[in-house]
Every structure is written in structure tokens, then in C-alpha cells.
Amino acid sequence: GQSLEQPSEVTAVEGAIVQINCTYQTSGFYGLSWYQQHDGGAPTFLSYNALDGLEETGRFSSFLSRSDSYGYLLLQELQMKDSASYFCAVRDRGNTPLVFGKGTRLSVIA
Amino acid sequence: NAGVMQNPRHLVRRRGQEARLRCSPMKGHSHVYWYRQLPEEGLKFMVYLQKENIIDESGMPKERFSAEFPKEGPSILRIQQVVRGDSAAYFCASSPWGQGRSNEKLFFGSGTQLSVL
């Protein structure tokens, strides 16, 4: 099976940078994904890393180190609207379902 | 292009009743996934379906729960004889690709909040 660990809560100031870490244990590895979910809303896809390194998409970046079974989501120039829950997710084989962590609740304060 | 549509948005049932949750995937998507979410918890996989086929139901309870995705119409998640522990948010997601595509991205609906009294 798979397990993922990420902090339950993070608070950061508007305009700052925040990093949300995710460590995982899987029998295999088929990529690390990140999803954002606002309260009462649908989870939305943010990023996907299959190979080591940093992927950048606007203010959001995602990093993966397969040797450390570790990744993070980096949010820059934080805005109030970034207050949401962020989930990392992994798949251990190509034909197995996506497994989600418990999520990190990010609160952006003025 | 409409997104993934789920209805109802909120569903209240008494213990012992049946709950039917509907999901219409995005246009062109033939792969549907159902996930369940409890407060402060992540999304727990339940079942993966393609048109007329259940591909993976490893996360579905063996009793009272069933899912279908007919050739025509939405996917249905059916919970018979609901109990209070079934209260949760149920999310449907769709994808144009099946599990196995390395850059698969899931498109989620807004969920159905089931409350069992």
C-alpha cells in the first residue's frame, strides 16, 4: 500500500512564500501530484512530477526527489485566495488508483 | 465545455434509506472515479469505471455500495440501507485517459454531501 505524510496546517503572510512538504511510502512510484481544494469546493489539479527536479507553473512550483521519497509544493507571492487545502497524491503503479494524503490547510493572513 | 457535474449537491437520508449519487463526466471523458472524503481527511478511492465496466472497485465496501456507468447517462453511486457512518462528501472525477497514463490529471466535480440522520 501507500502512505503520505504532510503537515496538517500552515499559516503564512500575504505576499510571502510558503513550502508544503510531502513524504511518501509506496511499493512502486508513478509520480507525485498536487491538488488544491477550497472549502466546499472541488479538488483541482495543480501539478505533477514524475522525474526529479522542479516544475514551475506561474506562482506555483512543485519539486520531487525520488531518492528521498519527498516532494514539496512552493507557493510564491501568496494571495488571500490561496487559502485552501493542498493535497499530495501518488500512484504506486500505472494501473492503481491515485492515493491522496490528508491535506495541508493553508491560511494566508494579512 | 461543462465540467464534471454531480447531483444532488446535498442529500439527506434517514438510516435504512437508499442514496443515489449521480455524476456526469466532462464531455469526451470515458473514465470515472469515485472518492469519499471525511472532514479533515484526504480523498479515499472507492471505484474506477469505464463505460459499462467496473475496472477497479478495491476501495468500495463489499456490502451496500454499488456503482455503475452505463452506456448512456451518468455514473451512479448507490448506497443501500444507509447508516450514519456513510455521512461524507462523495466526489466524482473524470479523465480522458485510464489509469496508466503518466501525466493523468483528474477533473473533479463539486461533490455530493450526504448526511444520514
Confidence band, pLDDT 50/70/90 cuts, at residue B78: very high
Reported as a single tens digit per residue, the pLDDT across B22-50 is 999 999 888 999 999 998 788 999 999 99
Query: What pLDDT was estimated at residue A70?
Result: 95
Q: Please compute the mean of the pLDDT values over residues B8-35 and round it to a whole number.
A: 95
- Which of A49, A92, A50, A94 lies closest to A74 in space, CA to CA? A49
Best to test chain B binding among A34, A98, A99, A105 (most B CBs inside 10 Å): A98
Residue with cell 472532514: B39
Q: What is the pLDDT of residue B1?
A: 55
| Cα-Cα end-to-end distance for chain B | 37
Out of A43, A99, A101, closest to residue B45 by CB? A99
In this prediction, residue B101 has a pLDDT band, given cuts at 50, 70 and 90, of low
Closest B-chain CA to A6: B42
Spatial separation of the C-alpha atoms in residues A86 and A103, rounded to whole Å: 5
Q: Over the stretch A15-71, which tens digit does the pLDDT of each residue have?
A: 999 999 999 998 888 889 999 999 999 999 999 998 999 999 899 999 999 999 999
Is the pLDDT reported for residue B103 higher than 70? no
Which pLDDT score is estimated for A30?
82
Report whether pLDDT(B102) > 80: no
For range B50-73, the mean pLDDT: 93
Q: Which residues of A touch B59 (CB under 8 A)?
A: 97
**Contact status, residue A58 vs residue A78, Cβ threshold 8 Å:** no
**Within the 17-46 window of chain A, which residues sit less than 8 Å (CB to CB) from chain B?**
30-31, 33, 35, 40-45
Cα A37 → chain centroid: 11
Q: What's the pLDDT at B98?
A: 64
